[in-house]
Amino acid sequence: MSGKELRPKPRLARGFRDLSGADIVARYKMIDTIREVYELYGFSPLETPTVEFVEMLGKFIQETGLPEEGVFSFRADQPEWLALRYDLTAPLSRYFAMHKDLPRPFRRYQIGSAFRIEKPGPGRFREFIQFDIDTVGSASMAADAEICCALCDAFDKLRLAGMYLVRVGNRRVLNGVLETAGVDMKADDGLTATRVMRCIDKYERLGLKGVAALLKQGRKDESGDFTEGAGLTEAQTEVVTNYLTASSETRRGVCDALAAIVGDSDEGKRGVEELIEMDGFLKAAGYDESKIIFDPTIVRGLTYYTGPVFEASIVDENGGYSSSIAGGGRYDDLVERFTGQKVPATGASIGPDRLLDILKGLGKIEAAITEPVLVTQMDKEHAADYQAITFELRRAGIPAELYLGKGNIGKQLKYADQRNIPIAVIAGGDEFASGTVSVKDLRKGKEVAIEVAERSEWLKHEETQDTVPRSKLIEYIKDLLAAHSDD
């Protein structure tokens, strides 16, 4: 190669990001808290590969023989299409279908990355973490109720008690409402259940009036843009809006209101019975309407769910819902793709990154990394002594780092400042001869530096550094760290 050597420019692919330091530590703490709750419920961890066959993910277009556009797909060294997993539920279904000897029901939790080719935006990336909890092989509504309870316990342990609600709807009830309204569940002429459900899904954003317009001929927004409606009649729209406004102070009261709306629909009646069954389990477990409510406006995945659906949201100061922090529901048809037989399943997914942002914003979790004590090196002949001090600190449970770079004490303390290290241990020949070490409180020194400009004044602040007996080093540093945590 002639001329200048060509070097790649360091850059990130669109929709991806780097994470480091404090945010990762905070995420670990949050995930460990949730994991402990899930394990109390008897759920066990599972890991599946990041790469799956596209058809395992259900993202394969049979007519064209190509993967759907939303997945990262490739062929690699084989003729079949592979893809980065789109979520954690499809791999779970594949795993369950492959392992016939699994205990049933099978209860698992999983944490891992998922990948989607979607337009990036604020807080929206093409690689993101999911934290799932699922029960496969149980048709009991107790399984759905337990998922909701586990979410509540996890949020309570994250100090969000009183700040969230788990809202539960039911797709069977909604299907029954549409049947009662005379909506053809299988028609392809535009008047379809899917189209109506898309209108309902906008209820929280548009309100009852906006959704009612969309259910009929359509709606013009503030900019003047017109969105074509579902084409329901006035009478059909009234049935759907009555469903959306069905409410009560109690979950059972909501069930009674829904029972009146679904009328003679067998599907709707079955959905109401499922909610009544869930309510019984929730009451027995001690979860009242301050944590879990029934909300007919919860729809979620339009073709995915088959029974109860749930969404956990932060409640804002006006009683509205500011952020969704988890969601899920019953999906009894997913495993059938592999086995040919219906396998009941239910679960929920938490978005850890979104939840972490909320916890940080509310001051419920510290986005801080535990920085070590820095053991500096002044004399090469005492290298073994510096190592001994470092390992003595570690064995006492104190994070410690031995400085391994080059430079004088000034450069070493500058390194500590860059790392936000709170304490430095300093010792030279004189200290080792007298059986002492110096301990510098770097955090207090930084505070003094803000107040003091002149070096002569700085030297008067001797309280930033102490000389202590070598035998008292561990005790002294523990007391100093305790004082830091109390400030």
**Whole-angstrom distance, CA of residue 117 vs CA of residue 325:** 22
Written as six digits, the tokens of 163 are 């700040």
Query: Rounded to an integer, what distance in angstroms lies between the CA atom of residue 267 and that of residue 133?
Result: 27
Query: Which candidate, 148, 153, 110, places its Cα nearest to that of 129?
Result: 110
| Beta strand 423-426 pairing with 373-375 | parallel
Nearest residue to 213 via CA among 234, 184, 189, 186: 234
| 3-state secondary structure at position 294 | strand
**Length of the chain in residues, anyone?**
487
pLDDT tens, position by position, 286-322:
999 999 999 999 987 667 799 999 999 999 888 888 8
| Distance in angstroms (rounded) separating the CA atoms of residues 54 and 91 | 11
Domains and their CATH numbers in the chain: 22-361 (3.30.930.10), 373-486 (3.40.50.800)
pLDDT at 454: 45
pLDDT of amino acid 451: 45
Mean pLDDT, 10 residues at a time, the chain of 487 residues: 75 90 89 97 97 88 76 88 94 95 96 93 89 97 98 97 96 92 66 78 87 87 80 89 92 96 94 98 97 92 84 88 91 89 94 91 79 92 95 95 92 89 92 94 65 45 79 94 78
Is 102 within 8 Å of 311 (Cβ atoms)?
A: no
The CA distances from residue 426 to 318, 372, 393, 413, 439, in Å, are 55, 14, 14, 10, 6
Contact 276, 255 (CB under 8 A): yes
Q: Positive or negative CA dihedral for 37, 39, 44, 46?
A: positive
The pLDDT score that the predictor gives to residue 473 is 95
Q: What are phi and psi of 168, to 5 degrees?
A: -120, 130
Question: Helix H segments across 286-349?
Answer: 336-339
Q: Three-class SS of residue 385?
A: helix
Pairwise CA distance, residues 439 & 428, whole Å: 12
C-alpha to C-alpha distance for 258 and 295, rounded to whole angstroms: 10
At 453 the pLDDT is: 46
Query: How many Å from the N-terminal Cα to the C-terminal Cα in the chain?
Result: 59
Element at 128 (helix H, strand E): strand 127-136
Give the residue among 26, 33, 29 at the shortest CA–CA distance from 367.
Answer: 26
* CA distances for 408 relative to 56, 57, 412, 413, 426, angstroms: 59, 57, 6, 9, 12
Q: From CA 436, how far away is CA 441, in angstroms rounded?
A: 16
